[in-house]
């Protein structure tokens, strides 16, 4: 039997090493090599370079012909870490501010547990994904033939969650996380001297009006029953203190849970942008892209996830999330291919927020995540079952 205390110490060391050496999306070469070496050490079959820097480990036991996948993301963020912890980032301007170092360490721990203990009948794919923060990594792996080369019938993932106590777990059926659309609106006019606005056709006033007008999309143009967010995050011009701008760029993102809502946001945005530009006699161009799709959990597999969590956590520590989150996750790309479940595990009520320069994954949660991963495998690929009978 695996010594869980020793495994926790080992996972903590892995996590600290990964935290000290963060890598941005599609640049995770050291991280991928670290992961691949550990998986081989545990006795798994390993494929590297899947979707660029992704790694897939395969572990089979028994004669079962079913397969499921577990996924962790590996990339870090362009954020400068604050604080003086001993394992702080050694890469200037990059840090693990979203817990992906912990996600990777937990999945490695699960791989070691299952390789040493077994307890399942079938095949497990361990997916270590690049570039989640971009929203590009899952599609890169899928476009590289992930499903054809390493087939699986279900997939499971998790994310650490500040504000939720360590050792606590929550998820829900149906919508869990939102789609993310990005937009860029460019207004073009004629800049000029700040003392002579009438001599040109500057764009800053038009841009300010447009930013305000975009706020009416959610409040006045969508049904109150639909959850949506439209956020302007940047306004950039080519003006200076005494020169009025002739060009302004408005950037931001929109969140929603249904394709019809996303389409309506885009339609309304184009209408408002064109109307505002016409009112101020400037030209406008709208670029609207869809980066993340909604994350939708399979209801039956949510029940399975709760059962697995309750096998390793106290009953009071697992609960149904009351409402979906408007943040996004490209795990949703996998769920568009096969059913599965994405869950949140606590990082502590006093944790700094995700994407914050003071964030740090709480090592006390590592063993909970590894044991949950192993429990879902054993529940979905049970021993002594007839492999010809599909699982419910």
Mean pLDDT within 67-76: 98
Mean pLDDT within 55-71: 97
Q: Please give the mean pLDDT across all residues of the chain.
A: 96
Mean pLDDT within 112-121: 97
For a pLDDT cut of 90, what percent of the chain falls above it?
Answer: 96
Is residue 388 predicted with pLDDT exceeding 50?
Answer: no
In a domain, 137, yes or no: yes
Check whether residue 33 and residue 116 sit in a common domain: yes
Specify the pLDDT at position 391.
41
Specify the pLDDT at position 392.
38
Which of these three, 228, 260, 292, is where a domain ends?
292
Check whether residue 168 and residue 186 sit in a common domain: no
Specify the pLDDT at position 1.
67
Check whether residue 199 and residue 154 sit in a common domain: no
Burial 142-180 (b: 16+ CB within 10 A, else e): bebebeeebebbbbbbbbbbbebbbbbbbbbbebbbbbb
Check whether residue 348 and residue 232 sit in a common domain: no
CATH of residue 45: 3.40.630.10
Q: How far is CA 302 from CA 70, 124, 170, 286, in A?
A: 15, 19, 10, 39
Which of these three, 259, 292, 325, is where a domain ends?
292
Check whether residue 103 and residue 186 sit in a common domain: no
Mean pLDDT within 22-28: 98
Is residue 104 predicted with pLDDT exceeding 50?
Answer: yes
Mean pLDDT within 267-274: 98
Specify the pLDDT at position 389.
42
Residue 311: burial class (beta carbons within 10 Å; 0-12, 13-18, 19+): middle
Where residue 299 falls (left for φ over 0; alpha for ψ -120 to 50; beta otherwise) is alpha
**pTM score, two decimals?**
0.91
Check whether residue 112 and residue 191 sit in a common domain: no
Check whether residue 265 and residue 300 sit in a common domain: no
**Cβ atoms within 10 A of the Cβ of 82, count?**
14
In a domain, 385, yes or no: no
Specify the pLDDT at position 2.
79
Which of these three, 292, 314, 344, is where a domain ends?
292
Tokens representing residue 317 in the block: 């520590």
Specify the pLDDT at position 163.
97
Check whether residue 24 and residue 144 sit in a common domain: yes
In a domain, 44, yes or no: yes
Check whether residue 76 and residue 143 sit in a common domain: yes
Specify the pLDDT at position 384.
76
In a domain, 233, yes or no: yes
Is residue 376 predicted with pLDDT exceeding 50?
Answer: yes
CATH of residue 273: 3.30.70.360
Q: How far is CA 48 from CA 57, 130, 156, in A?
A: 9, 11, 20
Is residue 11 predicted with pLDDT exceeding 60?
Answer: yes
Specify the pLDDT at position 385.
54
In this predicted model, what pLDDT tens digit does every residue of 300-327 receive, in sequence order?
A: 999 999 999 999 999 899 999 989 999 9
Is residue 387 predicted with pLDDT exceeding 80?
Answer: no
In a domain, 352, yes or no: yes
In this predicted model, what pLDDT tens digit does every residue of 126-171 receive, in sequence order?
A: 999 999 999 999 999 999 999 999 999 999 999 999 999 999 999 9
Of 358, 357, 382, 355, whose CA–CA distance to 159 is shortest? 355
Domain count, the chain: 2
In a domain, 310, yes or no: yes
Host domain of residue 257? 179-292
Q: Give SS3 for 223.
A: coil
Specify the pLDDT at position 390.
41
In a domain, 173, yes or no: yes
Check whether residue 105 and residue 168 sit in a common domain: yes
**Integer Cα distance of 81 and 97 in angstroms:** 8
Check whether residue 153 and residue 261 sit in a common domain: no
In a domain, 389, yes or no: no
Check whether residue 169 and residue 29 sit in a common domain: yes
**DSSP string across 340-366:** EEEEEEE--TTPPPTT-TT----GGGH
Mean pLDDT within 109-133: 98
């Amino acid at each position: 039997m695996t010594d869980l205390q020793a495994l926790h110490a080992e996972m903590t060391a892995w996590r600290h090493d990964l935290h000290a050496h963060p890598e941005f999306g599609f640049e995770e070469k050291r991280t991928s090599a670290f992961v691949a070496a550990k998986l081989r050490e545990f006795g798994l079959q390993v494929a590297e370079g899947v979707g660029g820097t992704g790694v897939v480990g395969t572990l089979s036991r028994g004669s079962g012909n079913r397969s499921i996948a577990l996924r962790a993301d590996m990339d870090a963020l362009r954020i400068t870490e604050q604080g003086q912890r001993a394992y702080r980032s050694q890469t200037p301007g990059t840090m693990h501010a979203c817990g992906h170092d912990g996600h990777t360490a937990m999945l490695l721990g699960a791989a070691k547990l299952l390789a040493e203990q077994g307890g399942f009948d079938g095949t497990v794919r361990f997916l270590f994904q690049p570039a989640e923060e971009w929203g590009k990594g899952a599609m890169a792996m899928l476009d590289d033939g992930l499903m054809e080369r390493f087939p699986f019938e279900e997939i499971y993932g998790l994310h650490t969650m500040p504000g939720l106590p360590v050792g606590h777990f929550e998820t829900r059926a149906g919508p869990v996380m939102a789609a993310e659309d990005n937009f860029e609106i460019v207004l073009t006019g004629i800049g000029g001297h700040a003392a002579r606005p009438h001599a040109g056709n500057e764009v800053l006033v038009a841009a300010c009006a447009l930013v305000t007008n975009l706020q009416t999309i959610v409040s006045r143009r969508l049904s109150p029953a639909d959850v949506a967010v439209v956020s302007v995050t940047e306004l950039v011009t080519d003006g200076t203190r005494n020169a009025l701008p002739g060009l302004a760029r408005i950037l931001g993102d929109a969140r929603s849970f249904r394709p019809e809502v996303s389409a309506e946001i885009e339609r309304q945005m184009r209408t408002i942008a064109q109307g505002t530009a016409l009112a101020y006699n400037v030209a406008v161009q709208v670029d609207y892209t869809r980066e993340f799709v909604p994350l939708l959990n399979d209801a039956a597999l949510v029940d399975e996830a709760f059962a697995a969590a309750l096998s390793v956590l106290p009953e009071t520590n697992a609960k149904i999330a009351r409402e979906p989150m408007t943040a996004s996750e490209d795990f949703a790309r996998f769920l568009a291919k096969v059913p599965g479940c994405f869950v949140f595990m606590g990082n502590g009520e006093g944790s700094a927020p995700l994407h914050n320069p003071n964030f740090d994954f709480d090592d006390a949660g590592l063993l909970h995540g590894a044991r949950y991963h192993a429990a879902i495998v054993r529940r979905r690929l049970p021993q002594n079952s007839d492999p010809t009978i599909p699982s419910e």
